[in-house]
Chain A
Amino acid sequence: MLTNYWPLSFKITLLLCLSLPLVFNIGCDNSPTATPPVAPTDPSLPGEEPGSETPAEPAAEAGTAESANAEEDAEQAAAGFKLGDMIEPFTPPTLEELDSMVEWEAQPVLDSLELRREDDAKHPSKVTVAEALKLRNTSKETNDKILEGLGQLPANDNAVNWDASINRHSGGDINSTFPLFMSSTAEFDINSLIGIGLFSFDWTFQNFAAKEAVVSWHSSKDRLFDKVIIRDDLTWSDGKPITAHDVAYSYKLILTKSVPCRAVRSGTDQIKWVEAYDDQTVVYFHKESLVTNNMNMNFPIIPKHVYEPIIAEDPLLKSSKNSHLEDNPVVGGPYTVRSRSRGQEIIFDRRDSFYLHNGKQVRDKPYYKVIRFRVQPNDATALLALKAGDLDEMQLSPELWQNQTDGDDFYQRNTKVFDTEWANIQFIWNIKDPRFADKRVRWAMAYAFDHEELLNTLLFGLCEPCTGNFHPTSRWSPVPAPTPLKQDLDKAEDLLDEAGWVDSNGDGIRDKMIDGKRVNFEFTIITNNRQLRIDICNLLKESLEQIGIRCQVTALEFPAMIEKLSNKDFQASCGGWGAGTDPDTSENIFATDQPRNYGSYSSKKVDDLFLAGKREFDPEKRRKIYQDIARQLWDDQPYCWLYYMNAQFAFSKSLRGYKFSPRGPYHYGPGFSSIYSTVE
C-alpha cells in the first residue's frame, strides 16, 4: 500500500531538506558574525600584566590514537612545510660587524601604565568619584565629567581590589587562542591578555618598546636595523624563559607558506630578516629605509620550544594530539587560560610568574585576579545581564545608548561613557563606472545626501560628521579641516548639469550619451546586511530621487560584499574603515591598484605623496605630506565620507581607570590594563 507513497515521500523529503535554512530563520536575525570592514583593533598590544602558571602537556605525550588518515595528512604536511619559505635567503652579519657599521640611536622604552600615571598627574581630576557616580550621561559635558572622575588610576595600591574578577562581554566566541591565527576583534582582545609583545603604542599612537619586556631598543639612523635587548626575567607559563630565539622563530613561522597566518603576516612580510644573536639580543633587518618600519616589528611571539616539534606535521594545528594547545596554551602574557566553554565563556587567571621573578615583583601586578569573557550574542540579553550585575562592561549600539540605558535600572549599577573613534563610515564610488568617473558627479552625490537626517535621526545626534580620511584632531588632518557638508540639492543639480547628466527625454531620470549610447543615471549600492547601513543607503536613495537619480539598495552577506568589492564588481558601496596607528596604513586604501582600493581611485599625486610619506623622517615634513594627501582626497571625493563611529561603553560603577583612545578604551597601551575595581 505504501508503494504509492514513494514518489510523494521522496518529494516531501527533498523539499524538507532543501528548505532547512528556512527552519532556522536564516536572515531573520541580527547577525553577530556579519561584521563591517571596521576593526579598531591591534594584535600588537603586548601582554601588559602578570598571571598564574598552567603548564601545557608536552605535545608528544598527548593524543595516542591518531587515525591512519591523520598520519597521512601529517606526512603530507611535513613534506610541504618549510620554515620561513617566504623569506628571501639572507646571511646576517655578526653582531660585532653590525655594531661596527651602524650608528645606533636610542628609542623609547616605556611603561604604558606609567605613562597613564604621568598623564593623570598632569591632568588631575576636578570631578570627584562620588560626583561622577551620581551623574547621568545626558550631554558631552556630563560625559567628560564621568570620564574624568572615574578614569583616574588608583592613588595607591590600597585603592585596588586585587582579588576582584571582571565579567566582560563578547558578542561572539573566539575561533583560536593561537596568536598567529587570530583575526577577529575578540581574538585580539584575548591576545592582549595572554600574549607577549615587545612593542606598544599609547593613546596618542606614539610607538615605544614595552618596558615590561624590553631593556633597550636602538634603531640605525637610516632605520634599516633595529636592535632590541629583551629582559631576562620573562618566562612562558610553562616556566621556560622567553628569549630572542622565540622572536626570530615566530617571524619565520609567520612567513611560512603552509601556516595560514592571515591577519598577522601583513607588515611582518616587510621585514627582511630577524636574527637572534643570543638569548636576549634580537636584530630586525628591514628591506628599505622607511619611517614605517617599526610598525612591522609588532608581531605576536610564540614559544619556540612548544611549536617547533609539532608544527611541521600539523601546520594548521588541527590534529587532536595538539588540541590541548588551543584550550590550555603556553602563554607569555599576564593571564593564563583557566577554562574555555565553547560558545559560552572563557576564563583567565592572573599569572603570578609574569610579574614575579624569583619571588620578587619585577612588573606591574595586573589589577584583576580573574577575567571572564561571557559570550552573549544578543545585545538585549547582554544589556539585561549588565543591569543584573552579571556583566561589568559592554559596548553599546547607538540604539541601546539612546533608548535603553537612561533609566534607574541601568544607573543603579552602571554608568556609560563614549568618545569618538577614528573609524569612519562612507559611500565608496566605483570610479571605473562611467557614472562616477567625473569628480563633479561625486561632489554632487556628497551635496545631495541628507547629512543632517543621518546624524540627527539615524544616529540620534551621537556621532561626529566625517570630513576625510584623517580625523580632525589627528595630526595628519589638514588645518583647518574641511567643513562638514550639508545637503544642497541646487548645488548638486548644478554639478550634475555641468557634468552632462541632464534629463534629456523628460522621463524624470538624468541621462547622458556615453560611447554613443544614452545611459540613465541609475545604479545599485551594495552594503552589509545590517539595519543601520541599509537605512543609510535608503536615505541616499531618497536624497537622489529628488535630483533625478535612481538608486537601488542591495544588502549582502559580508563575504559576498567583500567578493564584489575585491572584484570591483559594484557601482557604489557603503562601508567603513578602522584607524591604523600610522597614516601610511591608508596607502592600501587610496593608492593606485592597492588591494583595498575597491573604488579604483587613482591619483599620481596621492601615490607619490604616500611613497614620500613613508620615507620622510622629519615629523613636521611628514605631517605636511599626509595633510596634502587628505586635502587631495577631499578634493577628489573618491568616497562620500559620512560619520565617525563612536566607542560607546557601559561600565559597572565599581570600575575605574578607563580612558578612551581613537581606538576605544582597550586597543592601545595600557588600555584594558589600566582598568581596576575599587575596594569599595
Chain B
Amino acid sequence: MTVYLVRRLFLAVFTLLVITALIYSLARSMPGDPLQVDMAEMDPKHRMSPEDHALAKKAYGLDKPWHVAYAGWLGGLFKLDLGDSFRYRRPVTTLIGERVGYTLLLSVPSFVVTFGLAVPLGLYVTRRSGRLDERLLSVFFYMLYSLPSYVVALWLLYYFYLRLSGTIFQLPPGMTSDNFNDLSFLGKAGDLTRHMILPLFCYSYASLAYDTRFIKANMEEAIRQDYIRTARAKGLDDRTILYRHAFRNTLIPFVTIIGLTLPSLISGAVILEQIFAWPGIGKLFFDAVNGQDYNLIMGMTLMFSVATLAGQLLADVLYAFVDPRITYQ
C-alpha cells in the first residue's frame, strides 16, 4: 500500500508539472495581455501609450518569455507563493481562500444531499423496476436532467424572489441580507440558509437525477448476475439481496463517480454564481480567464488539478475497501 501510494504521489507531482507547464504556456500564448483589458474602458482621453504599455508590462513581469515566467512561478510555488493577481493586486492564495469557502458552502451540502438521496432513490427504483411509480420517477428524473439550470434558476428567482416579495417565503439572491451583521447567530444562520436554498437546489437537481439513474443502471446489471440468482434460490429476501449483495457489487463505479465529483466541489459554477450573485470560485476563474490574469489562472488550475488527482487517488484507495478482491501488490 505504502509503495503504491508513494508511486502514485510521484506520478501526481509529475502530472502536475506537465499540466501547469502546459496551461501556463497556453495562457501566455493567448493573444493580448491582461493590461490591454483595462484599455477597454478608457475613454479616448485616457489612452495608454505604447511606452506606458511597455512600462506596465515590465512592472508586472509580463515582458519575460513564458518559460522564464513559468520557472519564476514554479520557484514561488516551492515557497508556497502563488504570486499576485494582476487584476486584483492581491495574493492569489488570499483570493482563492476568500472564494473557496463560499463555493464549499454550496457544493458540500449539494454533494451530501445529492448522494444522500440518490442512493436510496436509485435502490428504490431498482426494486420497483417496471412498475408505475418507477416509470413516473424515471420520467421525472429525465425531465430534471434535461432542464437547463440557468433557466430553472431564473424561473425560481422570478417566483420565490419577486412574486413572493414581502412574504416570509421570499428567497433572495446574493449570500446575505443587508441587515446580516445586525442579526444574532441564529438569525445569521437562518438568513444564510434562506439565501442558499435556491442555488443549492439548482446546483443539485441535475446531479441527483444523473446519480439516481447511474445507480439504477449499475444495479440493473448487478441483479442479473448468477450470484444474485443463487442468493434468490437460497431464499434470501429482496431487501438483503439488493442492499447486501447487489449494491455492494456496484460500489466500484459508485466510488469512481465520487472520485470524479471531488474536483467539482471546489470548481464552482459560473452561470449559477452569476445568476444568484454568489461570489464563488467559478466566477473568479471565469473572470481570471477573461482578464488573462495568469497567476490567478495558474493558482486555480493548480488547485483543480490537485483536487482531480486527489479524487482519483482516493477512488483508487477506496476500491480496496469496497472490493476485497483488489489489493495493492
By a beta-carbon cutoff of 8 Å, the part of chain A in contact with chain B is 1-2, 5-6, 9-10, 12-14, 16-18, 20-21, 23-26, 28-37, 39-43, 67, 69, 172, 175-176, 181, 183-185, 257-258, 260, 262-267, 269, 295, 315-318, 320, 323, 326, 341-344, 372, 374-378, 380-381, 384-385, 387-390, 409, 556-564, 566, 577-582, 585-586, 588-589, 595-596
Contacts and interface: CB of A to CB of B under 8 A. Distances in A.
Contacts of A560: 30-32
Interface stretch (B128-136, B171-179, B200-208, B211-219): B171-179
Given A39-B42, A343-B279, A578-B43, A316 B59 contact: yes
A582 B44 CA distance: 10
A385 B173 contact: yes
A342 B279 contact: yes
A31 B175 CA distance: 21
A171 to B, nearest CB: 10
Interface stretch (B86-94, B138-146, B227-235): B86-94
Interface in B259-302: 260, 263-264, 267-271, 274-277, 279, 282-287, 289-292, 301
A320 B93 CA distance: 12
Interface in B36-63: 36-50, 52, 55-56, 59-60
Contacts of B42: 39, 183, 263, 266
User: What class of interface size applies to chain B in its complex with A?
Assistant: 35 or more
A265 B43 contact: no
B270 A29 contact: yes
B41 A17 contact: no
Secondary structure at chain A's binding surface: helix, strand, loop or mixed? loop
Given A30-B274, A269-B49, A589-B44, 11 more contacts: A2-B316, A2-B319, A181-B89, A184-B38, A266-B49, A318-B89, A344-B174, A380-B275, A559-B292, A560-B31, A566-B36
A34 to B, nearest CB: 6
Given A260-B60, A378-B275, A380-B275, A563 B41 contact: no
B162 interface: yes
28 contacts: A10-B11, A13-B312, A17-B305, A20-B304, A25-B269, A25-B271, A29-B271, A30-B274, A31-B286, A176-B89, A184-B38, A295-B45, A326-B89, A342-B88, A372-B178, A381-B274, A384-B161, A384-B173, A388-B162, A390-B172, A558-B32, A563-B31, A577-B44, A585-B44, A585-B45, A588-B44, A595-B47, A595-B49
Contacts of A263: 38, 41-42, 46, 48
A17 B284 CA distance: 18
B260 to A, nearest CB: 8
A381 B157 contact: yes
Given A2-B316, A24-B267, A559 B45 contact: no
Given A16-B263, A17-B304, A25-B271, A375 B47 contact: no
Interface in B148-201: 154, 157-158, 161-162, 165, 170, 172-175, 178
Nearest to A564: B31
Contact of A1 (B44, B84, B270, B326): B326
Contacts of A372: 178
Contacts of B308: 13, 16-17, 20
B22 interface: yes
Contacts of A344: 174-175, 277, 279
Given A13-B309, A17-B304, A28 B271 contact: yes
A37 B39 contact: yes
A450 to B, nearest CB: 28
B45 A265 contact: no
Across the A-B interface, give the 7 residue pairs with the lowest CB-CB distance, nearest first: A559-B32, A343-B279, A183-B38, A560-B31, A585-B44, A563-B32, A578-B43
B36 A562 contact: yes
A343 B99 contact: yes
Contacts of B327: 1
A22 B37 CA distance: 23
Given A175-B89, A343-B279, A262 B38 contact: yes
Given A29-B274, A265-B48, A185 B41 contact: yes
Contacts of A580: 43-45
A566 B39 CA distance: 11
A29 B286 contact: yes
Given A2-B328, A23-B267, A344-B279, A184 B84 contact: no
Contacts of B88: 175-176, 342
Nearest to B38: A183
B240 interface: no
B322 interface: no
Given A2-B4, A13-B312, A585-B44, A31 B290 contact: yes
A553 B55 CA distance: 34
Contact of B40 (A39, A326, A375): A39
A557 B90 contact: no
Nearest to A386: B162
Contacts of A67: 81
Contact of A26 (B50, B175, B270): B270
B221 interface: no
Given A23-B264, A24-B267, A388 B15 contact: no
Contacts of B161: 384-385, 388
A42 B46 CA distance: 8
B19 interface: yes
A559 B34 contact: yes
Contacts of A265: 48, 52
B33 interface: yes
